[in-house]
Amino acid sequence: MNFDLKTLTHSTALTHKTDLMVIAVKSGVQKATTSKSSPIPVLSQYLSSIQAEESFEAKTGKTLLILKPLHVQAKRIMLLGVGDGSAAQIRKAVNTCFSSIKSLKYKEVTVYFDDSFTEFDKAIRNSIIAVTDSLYLYTKTKPSAKTEHSKTSKNPDSSSSAGLISVTLAGASAKLVSSKNVFDEVTALCEGVELAKEWGNRPPNYATPTHLGQVAQNLGKTSGIKVNVMGPKEVEKLGMGSFMSVSQGSSEPLRFISMEYRGARAKTSEPIVLIGKGITFDTGGISLKPGAGMDEMKFDMCGAASVLGVFKSLSVLKPADLHVVGLIPTCENMPDGGAVKPGDVVTSMSGQTIEILNTDAEGRLILCDALTYAKRFKPKAVIDIATLTGACVIALGHVRSGLFSNNDTLASALEKAGEDSLDTCWRMPLDDEYAEALKSNFADVANVGDRAAGSVTAAKFLQRFANDFAWAHLDIAGTAWKSGGAKGSTGRPVGLLMEFLLRHSKNAMKPKSAK
């Protein structure tokens, strides 16, 4: 998709040529647009009359299509209600709008925000995010989706001409100037979100650890990102006994991916390390999961996909001041004759021994070795992202990701980044009492507690490996994908992470003394 920014005033908007002009309308502002002291706002006068005539209410996502509008060059006009005009309402409205028009014959669509939108940057940002989201189409193993799409577009031409090619965001000139940066940033963000979605969605036989390694290698080829992909031999040498135990029932070889982005002005700074859980399929292992809905455990690598997405965005945007390391332990969790068994004790890279009481609690087993590995970068902060527990879905549903942290500064920065990007999280507790559940008679720690506070005990397990740095853990089990008719990856939390990196990671996070 091509995005463009254009300066259009109330009068030049009338002569702007476009297939469809979507005009965002806030509720309750249509009557008061003409003023005698300012130049006549021609478009708004025109719109007021339409709204009055059609009694159009600007409820979020409500539309009114004008087929052959008078006085304007646009072939069609669509009024789009955006409620109170907040970021969230704009995103929702534009999403609804583009989901409904994507099968129509428009090639170029302009979205217009008039002067009543004082936060033009926000309007642009959320429109672009919403357009990209609603136009995403999964085709890798369903090429027919593309053909269906072009059929419904009623466009007899070749498939390449079907569908939307370009979207113009338009508004008054003064505000557009400051929007250039926002524009570059959000288009880069969207590329990252799309990559995360795409790899999240790919079937487990099309998104193996080897494939994820190749995605990283490709990012390295086309940008300044340093990439290193390790296999079983190197991982064994590192002593990652916990990670290896998860992989041992699978015939797909594991990978440990490491990526490093260093901006032009970040030569000496300590990095922020992102760690993504990359279980490309989670059967539960010998502690086998029930069959119903097990296919959704292909999404158990969405943490990894979000880290790949962030690096895609960084490679496009190239922010000068950032230094970011991405680590992805990735493997399958399968049962077979050689698989790890409940009761087995493994030795992690940190030297701590772990009694594996449930082979389905595998995410923490691969993450703990990555956390230990992260220490060598002397990180400013380490954030792991994981579809870690069903318990987190019970606690927070599909709205907010779970946030756990040993550092209040880091936690507030992530909370703020979540609010600002509409990719929200909610902080959960880490009281030491929760660690009681992980006691073992046969190892330093057990990999599961009882059912109570399952997302917290999982985080308590991870915390044991994160005592040397500021650390946060995002449990995205409820937010990384949607089930049912809309089954598919959401691309979360790439938005939160990019917002954090670009605007909230400035303050050094001091390690808090070990608990």
Site residues (vs ligand BES, CB under 6 A): 282, 300, 358, 360-363, 387-391, 393, 448, 454, 477
If one asks whether residue 213 binds Zn ion (CB under 5 A), the answer comes out as no
Counting residues that bind Zn ion (by CB under 5 A) gives 4
Choosing from 107, 289, 318, 427, the catalytic residue is: 289
Single-letter amino acid, residue 515: K
d(CA 195, CA 188): 11
Residue 11: CA atoms inside 13 Å, Cβ hemisphere, count?
4
The smaller minimum CB distance to ligand BES, of residues 300 and 499, is found at 300
* Nearest residue (beta carbon) to Zn ion: 282
Site membership for Zn ion, residue 363 (CB under 5 A): yes
Residue 389 CB, nearest distance to ligand BES (Å)? 4
Distance in Å, CB of 445 to ligand BES, minimum: 14
List C-alpha distances in Å: 208 to 45, 236, 308.
57, 20, 14
> How far is Cα 141 from Cα 379, in angstroms, rounded to an integer?
39
**Least distance from C-beta 282 to Mn ion, angstroms?**
4
In the complex, what is the shortest distance from the CB of residue 320 to Zn ion, in angstroms, rounded to a whole number?
A: 37
Label the pairing between strands 323-333 and 278-282.
parallel
477 binds, among ligand BES, Mn ion, Zn ion, none (CB under 5 to 8 A by kind): ligand BES
Q: Contact between 384 and Zn ion (CB under 5 A)?
A: no
Distance CA 441, CA 353 (A): 11
Q: Which stretch binds Zn ion (CB under 5 A): 159-167, 171-179, 263-271, 362-370?
A: 362-370
Give me the phi and psi of 167, to 5 degrees please. Answer: -125, 125
CA-to-CA dists, residue 189 to 93, 185, 194, 361, angstroms = 20, 6, 9, 32
Residue whose structure tokens are 């080897």 = 210
Q: Which does 390 bind (CB under 5 to 8 A by kind): Mn ion, Zn ion, ligand BES, none?
A: ligand BES
Which residue number places its CB atom closest to ligand BES? Answer: 390
The smaller minimum CB distance to ligand BES, of residues 156 and 293, is found at: 293
387 closest CA partner among 406, 359, 366? 366
Residue type, 263: G
Residue 492 annotated as catalytic: no
| Separation of alpha carbons 358 and 339, rounded Å | 12
Q: Could you tell me the smallest distance in angstroms from the CB atom of residue 304 to Zn ion? A: 12
> Whole-number minimum distance, CB 475 to ligand BES, in Å?
9
Which among ligand BES, Mn ion, Zn ion, none contacts residue 8 (Cβ within 5 to 8 A by kind)?
Answer: none
Contact indicator for 472, 417 with CB cutoff of 8 Å: no
Build a one-symbol-per-residue string for 357-376: x at contacts with Mn ion by CB under 5 A, - elsewhere. Answer: ---x-x--------------
CA–CA gap between residue 447 and residue 453 (Å, rounded): 14
What is the C-alpha separation between 444 and 346, in angstroms, rounded? 10
Nearer to ligand BES, 242 or 505 (CB): 242
Work out whether 355 is an interface residue with Zn ion (CB under 5 A).
no
Q: DSSP readout, 416-438?
A: HHHHHHT--EEE----GGGGGGG
- For Mn ion, which residue of 282, 369, 415, 423 counts as binding (CB under 5 A)? 282
**Hey, what are 350's tokens?**
């940190």
Confirm whether 376 is a catalytic residue. no
Residue 46 and residue 48: Cα distance in Å, rounded? 6
403 Cα distance to chain centroid: 15
| Partner in contact with 448, chosen from Zn ion, ligand BES, Mn ion, none, beta carbon below 5 to 8 Å by kind | ligand BES
Identify the active-site residue in 364, 460, 464, 492: 364
Which residue is at the shortest CB distance from Mn ion? 360
Q: Which is nearer to Zn ion, 279 or 445 (CB)?
A: 279
| Pairing verdict, β 108-112 and 166-171 | parallel
Query: Judged by CB, which is closer to Zn ion: 377, or 481?
Result: 481
What minimum distance in Å lies between the beta carbon of 329 and Zn ion? Answer: 12
Give the tokens for residue 476.
Answer: 């995205």
Spatial distance between the Cα atoms of 362 and 375, rounded to a whole number of angstroms = 21
Is 25 or 480 the residue whose CB approaches Zn ion more closely? 480
* 72 binds, options Zn ion, ligand BES, Mn ion, none, Cβ within 5 to 8 A by partner type: none
CB 182 within 8 A of CB 124: yes
Shortest distance, CB of residue 289 to Mn ion, whole angstroms? 7
Among 19, 121, 252, 282, interactor with Zn ion by CB under 5 A? 282
Residues 294-313 binding Zn ion (CB under 5 A) are: 300
- Which of 260/360 has CB closer to Zn ion? 360
Judged by CB, which is closer to ligand BES: 133, or 282? Answer: 282
| DSSP H or E stretch at residue 95 | helix 87-101
CA–CA separation, 440 and 56 (whole Å): 65
Any idea which residue has 């959401």 for tokens?
A: 490
Residues in the site for Mn ion, rule: CB under 5 A? 282, 360, 362
Chain contacts with Zn ion (rule: CB under 5 A)? 279, 282, 300, 363
Annotated catalytic residues are 289, 364
